[in-house]
Chains A and B, each alone.
Chain A
Amino acid sequence: MEPMLRIENLCKSFPGVKALDNMSFDLYPGEVHILAGENGAGKSTLSKCILGYVRPDGGHMFLDGKEIAFASPKDSLACGIAAVYQELTMVPWLNAAENIFFNREPVYGKTGIVRTGKMISDARTILSDLGSHDIDVTVPVRKLGIAKQQMVEIARALSMDPRLIIFDEPTSALSEKDTEALFAKIHDLKKKGAGIIYISHRMKEYDRIGDRITVMRDGKYICTGRVSDFSGEELIHHMVGRKTVRIYSRREEKAASRTESDQHRKTEGPAPAEIKEVLKVENLCDKKGRVKNCSLSLRSGEIAGIAGLVGSGRTELARLLFGIDKAGSGKVLLHGEDITGCSPGKLVRKGIGLLPEDRKEQGLALRASLAWNVTSAGLHKAFPGHILDRRTEKKLSEDYMEDLNIAARDTEVRALNMSGGNQQKLVLAKWLLADTDVIIFDEPTRGIDVQAKREIYAHMAQLAASGKAILLISSELSELIGMCDRIYVMREGAISGELSGEELSEEKIGEMMFGVGV
């Protein structure tokens, strides 16, 4: 049989990242093909290429043997390709029927006047087909819960009567019952000969509906096979990979330096710096239910990690700790002092810093100069009298440029014109100046080159050695294992476990992240 969709050597680069690297893939009619991989493995980019959202840089895509190059989703729709997107595409003020048939409403002739009655009854049919008789199709979807909105989203894709359909995490918000209904529907589609690409983190779903599975990692094709041929452990192994070469291992460095300092201690004999608890978080919840009852503690001189999938609540937790969002309940103690509900400004002065996940939008003022960015979080440290001084600022910036090896012509270069790695080092410089006791790193090495990564790791280790308490949030398990003394794993908003010492392994963390009990 001829595959309906064949993808060969697809490549796509975004600034700083290779999202797709010679990716190949195929899909037969009547098949559910599962696409698996960690966050950032390139699954979404691949589906966006198929849908015409993103134009690949290289490679070929064939539909029914004919090469395709979609300019926009309009073209893919015309070829009968539909998708259930991870991000909802609902218009909140339109009702379910209007959303399902958005821009494809049944109209009278060419008038553009919608045949409301027909549209509503059609929508009801589609939804009851999916077992969602209880969705009122005349109520604006913003009043429906997230689960019902997701069903409407699925109904929308199905209403297009597609022959190729991509499901991107369709069940993350669904109940058991709705999930079953969806699977039944997928089964129907299969029988009718449609091709289905199914992306999900829920491994127990793979056996349930999948025929074949393809694992991606770092934008690359890893392996393909029948679902039944892989065990859960094997899949996790393929997804996280055995990354034998660690860029940096703090533990090894530490071991080396410990022997050194032991010798040192023998001669000098000062007591090691007292290790005390700096940050204590008790049952912290946010207001939206994305962070649930998180408790953790952080001691001086250690690096604690937070592992978890995107959407597991790790970034939301960081935002709570830094006061960007207000906590719903629970307590945060810094040096024993209750700091729950403080503004970011206060927290910086009290000693909490955050290198945010989105360096361009949150970490830096891109249009500002290097020097301005360096002092932006530590204005009170650099200029205690509130009077700016150009020379001090220039001197400080030059010092950090040298310390952190930031490559820039001078201190007046705009952050905009710097490379990703240098930008990230600039964010680090800003928090070095602010000199906070606790520093939270949220995805500090995303999209930067190996050299810069190594440097940032070294600085983190150095900071910890100087007595700072560091919380590292990362998607890269090898990074967490290389850097952290302890790792908290988050899943669906809650901390699902804590690992330390010899327990730290990719497999173990992966199991806790994906929620697979072994």
Chain B
Amino acid sequence: MTTVFTLDNIITVLRQTSILFLLSQGLTVVILTGNIDFSVGPLAALCGCICAQMIVHGFPAGLGIVSALMTGAAFGLTNGLLVGKLKLPSFVATYGMSMVASGLATIVMNGGVIYGLPADLTALGAGTVGILPVPVIVTGITFAFLYAVLKKTSFGRCVYLTGLNQSAARYSGINSLMTILAAYLLSGLFGAAGGVVMTARLNAADAGMTEAYGLKIIAAVVVGGSSLLGGEGGVERTFLGALVLTVISNIMNIAGIASEWQNLVFGVIILLIGGLDYSRHHRS
């Protein structure tokens, strides 16, 4: 047992957690507004692919990253408009967008896979500053940023109030359309960031690279204890959720439990925690 809690191990776990956490951070904001975003995973893949493709075609890494982030922002805003303006049920709209994203990712990759990226990008995934891996630092910074925005600004409060009771928020003069747009924008941006870091970490890109994350992204938020009804929770909880899921995955891997069981477990977790949360609120 003594070896489990060495600094090295802790850092390894943090590194493993970082990409999942990055992806589910933005989603947390959307879930806090009482909506959902199914497109984070495929969008991350798309953005990672765009970034890798641009770099392979001779553009500087910075431009690749910016393009990826812009793609993420565009998808996020589209999601926001579909949900906030057209009032589509968020799971339908974002499910559709996820199909578009994964389709586009296949096109960007031309059906292939990219291996071997220049060092200025891979540093983002494999590099370290002192003892800390870069992905951990990136995730840490974005976490701090998002935490501050959600807990310390008026905008953050609007996110919570919209999720707690959209009707009451409207009757308080809160512009829920802008809030929802901004939430999806953040979700898109974090999806893009997650995709870029993942590409850098893998030193490769392919259209299906985030498939393994699939449900885990939502599960991390739910396990963290943010309510799917909106308005309760926060990114700090998502951090715990992502950490727990990573550790569970690790344990299951070590114990030799097939990855299929893992998805089953995540499905049951969502049903159980989502259901408990919902019935708790309905009873009161």
Direct contact of A and B (CB under 8 A): yes
Name A residues whose Cβ lies closer than 8 Å to a Cβ of B: 322, 324, 343-349, 354, 356, 361-368, 372, 375-377, 379-380, 383, 386-388, 416, 430, 434
Residues of A within 8 A of B284 (CB): 416
Q: Smallest CB-CB separation from B150: which chain A residue?
A: A388
Residues of B within 8 A of A324 (CB): 170-171
Residues of A within 8 A of B158 (CB): 379
Residues of A within 8 A of B169 (CB): 365, 376
State whether B165 touches A345 (Cβ < 8 A). no
Known: A363-B168, A386-B154. 14 other contacts (CB 8 A): A344-B172, A345-B174, A361-B168, A364-B168, A365-B161, A365-B164, A366-B165, A367-B164, A379-B157, A387-B153, A388-B152, A388-B157, A416-B284, A434-B173
State whether A344 touches B231 (Cβ < 8 A). no
- Does B147 make an interface contact (CB < 8 A)? no
Task: List residues 122-176 of chain B with CB under 8 A from any CB of chain A.
Answer: 151-158, 160-161, 164-165, 167-175
CA A322 to CA B168, docked complex, whole Å: 13
Give, as a whole number of angstroms, the nearest-CB distance from B207 to chain A: 40
Residues of A within 8 A of B165 (CB): 361, 364-368
Whether A348 touches B172, Cβ cut-off 8 Å, given contacts A362-B167, A367-B165, A372-B161, is: yes
Which of A343, A365, A380, A416 lies in contact with B168, CB distance below 8 A? A365
Residues of A within 8 A of B170 (CB): 324, 344, 362
Whether A368 touches B161, Cβ cut-off 8 Å, given contacts A362-B171, A377-B172, is: yes
Give, as a whole number of angstroms, the nearest-CB distance from A332 to chain B: 16
CA A372 to CA B165, docked complex, whole Å: 12
Give, as a whole number of angstroms, the nearest-CB distance from A14 to chain B: 16
Give, as a whole number of angstroms, the nearest-CB distance from A171 to chain B: 32
State whether B231 touches A368 (Cβ < 8 A). yes
Residues of B within 8 A of A365 (CB): 161, 164-165, 168-169, 231
Residues of A within 8 A of B236 (CB): none
Residues of A within 8 A of B175 (CB): 343, 345
Residues of B within 8 A of A354 (CB): 171
CA A372 to CA B154, docked complex, whole Å: 11
Whether A376 touches B168, Cβ cut-off 8 Å, given contacts A345-B175, A383-B154, A386-B153, is: yes
Whether A344 touches B173, Cβ cut-off 8 Å, given contacts A379-B154, A386-B154, A388-B157, is: yes
Residues of B within 8 A of A383 (CB): 154
Which of A347, A356, A368, A430 lies in contact with B164, CB distance below 8 A? A368
CA A373 to CA B171, docked complex, whole Å: 12
- Does B281 make an interface contact (CB < 8 A)? yes
Number of A-B contacts (CB under 8 A): 81
Residues of B within 8 A of A356 (CB): 171
Query: Can you list 24 A-B contacts with CB-CB less than 8 angstroms, sorted by A residue number?
Result: A324-B170, A344-B173, A345-B173, A348-B172, A362-B168, A364-B168, A365-B165, A365-B168, A365-B231, A366-B164, A366-B165, A367-B164, A367-B165, A368-B160, A368-B164, A368-B165, A368-B231, A372-B160, A375-B157, A379-B154, A379-B158, A387-B152, A387-B153, A388-B156
With an 8 Å Cβ cutoff, the count of chain B residues facing the other chain is 25
Residues of B within 8 A of A347 (CB): 173
State whether A344 touches B161 (Cβ < 8 A). no
CA A244 to CA B170, docked complex, whole Å: 39
CA A31 to CA B194, docked complex, whole Å: 74
CA A377 to CA B231, docked complex, whole Å: 16
CA A388 to CA B147, docked complex, whole Å: 13
Q: Smallest CB-CB separation from B174: which chain A residue?
A: A345
Residues of B within 8 A of A345 (CB): 173-175
Residues of B within 8 A of A387 (CB): 152-154
Residues of B within 8 A of A366 (CB): 164-165
Residues of A within 8 A of B160 (CB): 368, 372
Q: Smallest CB-CB separation from A347: which chain B residue?
A: B173
CA A305 to CA B231, docked complex, whole Å: 36
- Name the residue among B154, B156, B284 with the largest chain A CB count within 10 angstroms: B154
Task: Give B168-212 as 1s and 0s: 1 = Cβ < 8 Å from A's Cβ atoms.
Answer: 111111110000000000000000000000000000000000000
CA A362 to CA B165, docked complex, whole Å: 8
CA A443 to CA B23, docked complex, whole Å: 46
Give, as a whole number of angstroms, the nearest-CB distance from A377 to chain B: 4
Q: Smallest CB-CB separation from A376: which chain B residue?
A: B172
Residues of A within 8 A of B164 (CB): 365-368
Q: Which 6 A-B pairs have the closest CB atoms?
A: A348-B173, A365-B164, A377-B172, A365-B165, A386-B154, A345-B173
Residues of B within 8 A of A344 (CB): 170-174
Q: Smallest CB-CB separation from B284: which chain A residue?
A: A416
- Name the residue among B151, B155, B160, B171 with the largest chain A CB count within 10 angstroms: B171
Q: Smallest CB-CB separation from B164: which chain A residue?
A: A365
Give, as a whole number of angstroms, the nearest-CB distance from A436 to chain B: 9
Residues of B within 8 A of A377 (CB): 172-173
Whether A349 touches B173, Cβ cut-off 8 Å, given contacts A361-B167, A365-B168, is: yes
State whether B151 touches A388 (Cβ < 8 A). yes
Whether A372 touches B171, Cβ cut-off 8 Å, given contacts A364-B165, A365-B164, A388-B151, is: no
CA A345 to CA B156, docked complex, whole Å: 16
Give, as a whole number of angstroms, the nearest-CB distance from A364 to chain B: 6
State whether B231 touches A367 (Cβ < 8 A). yes
CA A477 to CA B7, docked complex, whole Å: 73
Give, as a whole number of angstroms, the nearest-CB distance from A423 to chain B: 12
Give, as a whole number of angstroms, the nearest-CB distance from B283 to chain A: 11
Q: Smallest CB-CB separation from A349: which chain B residue?
A: B173
Give, as a whole number of angstroms, the nearest-CB distance from B200 to chain A: 34
CA A362 to CA B161, docked complex, whole Å: 12
- Name the residue among A322, A363, A375, A388 with the largest chain B CB count within 10 angstroms: A388
Which of B153, B154, B231 lies in contact with A380, CB distance below 8 A? B154
- Name the residue among B168, B170, B232 with the largest chain A CB count within 10 angstroms: B168
- Name the residue among A322, A345, A362, A416 with the largest chain B CB count within 10 angstroms: A345
Residues of A within 8 A of B172 (CB): 344, 348, 376-377, 430
